[in-house]
């Protein structure tokens, strides 16, 4: 342990002339941390988000041309701020300078500073650029990436205990992950590119992957080409409808310290750049403006899905005449073992959909439609809590969403159904009470029988079903440099859930105080409390229905970011968790120190972290955002006891070639093996290396 501490200190001292930190705004980092923590997700691929910000940095949004969708795509403004910017331009005319944002009541100095790298003021923009010109004169980037865990993992080796019958390793490929991305862009108008990926454990140019990479995605995207053609997406793209009751590609608009960021929006179609191998559509989508104030979006998609094939055990209790092919859809994208390969692309599916929207400056109304057809039957899920959630092979979702503004009151919502009997609905109100106070109210009611394949709406869980709740949030800026934000959310579940064998309920509170000195200091203290119903059976009796006991989770965070000078920034955090259910308790604590060194006009830069964590169990786990190489984003959950440290280096070899390297290690004090199954490591240390080359031309 002493050697490891010495290693990280040496790396920080001698590497301090080395890596540029990926410039992800801290506000966005916090929203992502909260998003993963709320939904119990350990990793999230947000390449699309980072690529979008990078595009806006290279070609800032024109404040004199931007519409609601453009400002929403920036992800750094809440609904009140977006509406105030549009209203200011409508009332006073074009912006003369971006600094004019200071005259808008809801735009505080911290918000302005956050968006300034991504916005600007230009003359009116032209339509109908030549496609050939946009393809020829745009910017190009190529990413070559490698990643691997250094320690031996069980899946890559045979099982000696089986003796002569040893079948060899479960993973058919090696431990290396390879990644290639090419992207072309012209002023955010034209984008095209492709992404290739081979996960660790997957075969490469052999076996099931004789073509090389296991995952391949490509797209062509045209934006604002003419007054008639708003968007055109060909290849792989993502889809956004209403408030996400059917589908939405917006990661945010949920519960966080940014209490007024609860409304979803943005363009219907966006190009797909992620390595998530399932959350996209493959085909064509277009948004047209046939007449003034009307937008028509149409899409069609055909793709193959991974699914777990059914066996006789899955059919026990099913009707005698029930023909089935699969039990579940697989979304992890891994094809490392024989069984995973057997499940790969085992279902043909197609989707058609559309959005018809009428909008004016203060109002919009939209009708949304999406039909999914899968060439397979599903085995009935006989678990009682899944009684209303058996997925049909033919599913149609329709919804209506709206938004309108009356003075400082911004109303919005969506109502959706999949069969005309089961409904999901969400309604919200955002209030800009004055320059220093903003508030939000959200009500949702999701029927236990409402089914959508990829919803992404406001709620307590990722599944938009079996939930009714009310959310209240407020943000106050009492004096210069201070900000207070808080929310409360209460909900009930009218039907059973996983690990909840009776109708349950829950509540959550959060309060945060920020002290911010522009470009110098950011200090905040945040406390959150959550109570949920959960099964409790201390005697572990074999009963079909367990009793319920509330689980209580307390989280306290103290965070400080301080810029010593223009090149060096320090970030420190202390976090404490307390979890309890009946007489069972679990505590967790974490401390980390970050060093972010970005010398001006230097080819070298670096980021580094040293962390100590100690939790009694996974129930008191702690999430923490980590700086990574470009377009990588990682928020691991830490449990047990140990240390973690990493260092990232970046070196600009030439004006058009950049190299990056990452070393990260976690060492546990109370474990003799890490993880389980095929990922099991016999030891107390896990080390990950990453390297990347970025070509620009």
Q: What per-residue confidence (pLDDT) applies to 3?
A: 37
Rounded-to-integer distance, Cα 370 and Cα 690, Å: 40
The predicted-structure confidence for 345-362, as pLDDT tens digits, reads as follows: 988 999 999 999 999 988
| Alpha helices (H) along 97-247 | 109-115, 131-137
Domains of the chain: 61-120 (1.10.150), 133-144+164-223 (no CATH)
Distance of CA 570 to the CA centre of its chain: 26
- What's the CA gap between 274 and 284, in Å, rounded? 17
Q: Are 636 and 626 in contact (CB under 8 A)?
A: yes
Instruction: Please tell me whether residue 539 adopts helix, strand or coil conformation.
Output: coil
What is the pLDDT, as a whole number, of residue 77?
84
The token pair at 550 is 């509330």
pLDDT value at 631 more than 80 = no
Q: Report pLDDT for 145.
A: 95
SS3 sequence of 328-395: EECCCCCCCCHHHHHHCCCEEEEEEEEEEEEEECCEEEEEEEEEEEECCCECCCCCHHHCCCCCCCEE
Quickly tell me which residue has 């190489």 as its tokens. Answer: 629
pTM (2 decimals)? 0.87
Can you tell me the distance from the alpha carbon of 186 to that of 163, in angstroms, rounded to the nearest whole number? Answer: 60
- Residue pair 248/238 in contact by the 8 Å Cβ criterion: no
Residue 71: which residues within 8 A CB-CB, separation 6 or more?
61, 77, 82, 85, 86
Longest dimension (CA), the chain: 82
Q: How many CB atoms lie within 10 A of CB 188?
A: 19
Q: How far apart are CA 453 and CA 329, in angstroms?
A: 10
Buried b (16+ CB within 10 A) or exposed e, 152-174: ebbbbeeeeeeeeeeeebbbbbb
Residue 426 CA: distances (Å) to CA of 365, 412, 423, 507: 15, 9, 10, 18
Residue 251 CB contacts under 8 Å (≥ 6 apart), including other chains: 31, 32, 35, 44, 46, 49, 456
Query: From CA 210, how far away is CA 170, in angstroms rounded?
Result: 19
Question: What three-state secondary structure class fits 490?
Answer: strand
What would the mean pLDDT of 431-436 be, rounded to a whole number?
A: 84
Residues in the chain, total: 697
> Are 231 and 38 contacting, i.e. CB atoms less than 8 angstroms apart?
no
**376-398 pLDDT, tens digit each:** 888 888 888 888 988 889 999 99
Which range has the worst mean pLDDT, 127-136, 176-185, 235-244, 574-583? 127-136
pLDDT digits (tens, 9 = 90+) for 454-512: 999 999 987 899 999 999 999 999 888 899 999 999 999 999 998 898 899 999 999 99
Q: Identify whether the C-beta of residue 511 lies closer than 8 Å to the C-beta of residue 556.
A: no
Mean per-residue pLDDT, 175-184: 94
How confident is the model over 499-521, as pLDDT tens digits?
Answer: 898 899 999 999 999 998 877 88
Q: What are phi and psi of 336, to 5 degrees?
A: -105, -30
Q: Return d(Cα 639, Cα 617) in angstroms, integer.
A: 6
pLDDT at 28: 62
DSSP state of 391: P
């Amino acid at each position: 342990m002493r050697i490891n501490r010495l290693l990280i200190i040496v790396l920080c001292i001698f590497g301090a002339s080395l890596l540029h930190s990926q410039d992800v705004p801290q506000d966005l980092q916090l929203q992502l941390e909260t998003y993963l923590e709320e939904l119990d997700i350990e990793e999230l691929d947000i390449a699309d988000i980072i690529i979008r910000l990078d595009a806006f940095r290279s070609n800032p949004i024109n404040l004199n041309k931007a519409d609601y969708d453009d400002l929403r795509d920036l992800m750094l403004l809440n609904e009140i701020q977006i509406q105030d910017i549009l209203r200011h331009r409508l009332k006073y005319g074009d912006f003369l300078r971006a600094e004019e944002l200071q005259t808008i009541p809801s735009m505080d100095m911290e918000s302005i500073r956050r968006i300034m790298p991504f916005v600007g003021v230009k003359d009116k923009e032209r339509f109908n650029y030549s496609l050939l010109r946009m393809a020829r004169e745009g910017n190009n980037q190529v990413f070559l990436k490698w990643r691997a865990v250094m320690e031996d993992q069980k899946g890559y080796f045979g099982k000696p205990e089986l003796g002569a019958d040893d079948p060899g390793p479960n993973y058919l490929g090696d431990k290396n992950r390879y990644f290639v991305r090419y992207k072309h862009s012209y002023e955010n108008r034209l984008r095209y590119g492709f992404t290739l990926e081979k996960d660790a454990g997957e075969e490469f140019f052999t076996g099931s992957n004789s073509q090389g990479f296991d995952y391949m995605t490509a797209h062509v995207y045209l934006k604002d080409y003419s007054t008639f053609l708003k968007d055109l997406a060909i290849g792989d793209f993502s889809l956004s409808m209403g408030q996400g009751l059917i589908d939405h590609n917006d990661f945010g608009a949920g519960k966080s310290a940014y209490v007024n960021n609860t409304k979803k929006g943005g363009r219907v179609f966006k190009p797909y750049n992620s390595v998530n191998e399932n959350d996209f559509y493959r085909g064509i989508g277009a948004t047209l403006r046939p007449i003034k104030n009307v937008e028509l979006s149409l899409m069609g998609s055909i793709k193959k899905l991974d699914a777990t094939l059914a066996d006789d055990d899955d059919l026990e209790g099913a009707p005698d005449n029930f023909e089935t092919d699969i039990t579940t859809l697989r979304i992890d994208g891994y094809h490392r073992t024989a069984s995973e390969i057997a499940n790969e692309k085992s279902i043909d599916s197609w989707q058609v959909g559309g959005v018809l929207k009428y909008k004016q400056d203060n109002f919009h109304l939209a009708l949304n439609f999406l039909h999914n057809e899968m060439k397979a039957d599903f085995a009935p899920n006989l678990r009682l809590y899944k009684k209303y959630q058996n997925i049909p092979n033919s599913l149609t979702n329709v919804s209506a969403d709206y938004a309108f503004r009356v003075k400082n009151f911004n109303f919005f919502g969506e109502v959706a159904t999949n069969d005309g009997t089961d409904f999901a609905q969400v309604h919200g109100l955002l209030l800009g009470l004055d320059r220093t106070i903003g508030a939000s109210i959200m009500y949702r009611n999701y029927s236990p029988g409402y089914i959508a394949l990829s919803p992404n709406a406001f709620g307590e869980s990722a599944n938009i079903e079996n939930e009714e709740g009310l959310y209240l949030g407020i943000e106050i800026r009492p004096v210069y440099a201070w900000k207070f934000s808080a929310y409360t959310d209460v909900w009930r579940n009218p039907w059973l859930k996983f690990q909840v064998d009776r109708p349950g309920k829950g509540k959550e509170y959060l309060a945060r105080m920020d002290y911010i000195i522009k470009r110098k200091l950011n200090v905040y203290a945040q406390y959150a409390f959550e109570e949920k119903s959960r099964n409790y059976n201390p005697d572990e009796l074999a009963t079909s229905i367990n009793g319920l006991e509330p689980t209580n989770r307390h989280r306290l965070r103290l965070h400080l970011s301080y810029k010593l000078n223009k090149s060096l920034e320090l970030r420190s955090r202390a976090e404490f968790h307390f979890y309890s259910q009946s007489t069972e308790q679990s505590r967790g604590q974490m401390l980390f120190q970050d060093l972010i060194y970005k010398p001006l006009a230097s080819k070298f830069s670096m980021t580094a972290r040293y962390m100590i964590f100690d939790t009694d169990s996974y129930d008191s786990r702690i999430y923490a955002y980590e700086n990574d190489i470009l377009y990588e984003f990682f928020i691991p959950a830490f449990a047990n006891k140990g240390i973690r440290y990493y260092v990232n280096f970046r070196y600009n070899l030439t004006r058009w070639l950049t190299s990056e390297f990452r070393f990260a290690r976690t060492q546990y004090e109370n474990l003799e093996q890490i993880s389980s199954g095929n990922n099991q490591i016999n030891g107390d240390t896990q080390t990950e290396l990453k390297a990347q080359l970025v070509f620009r031309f």
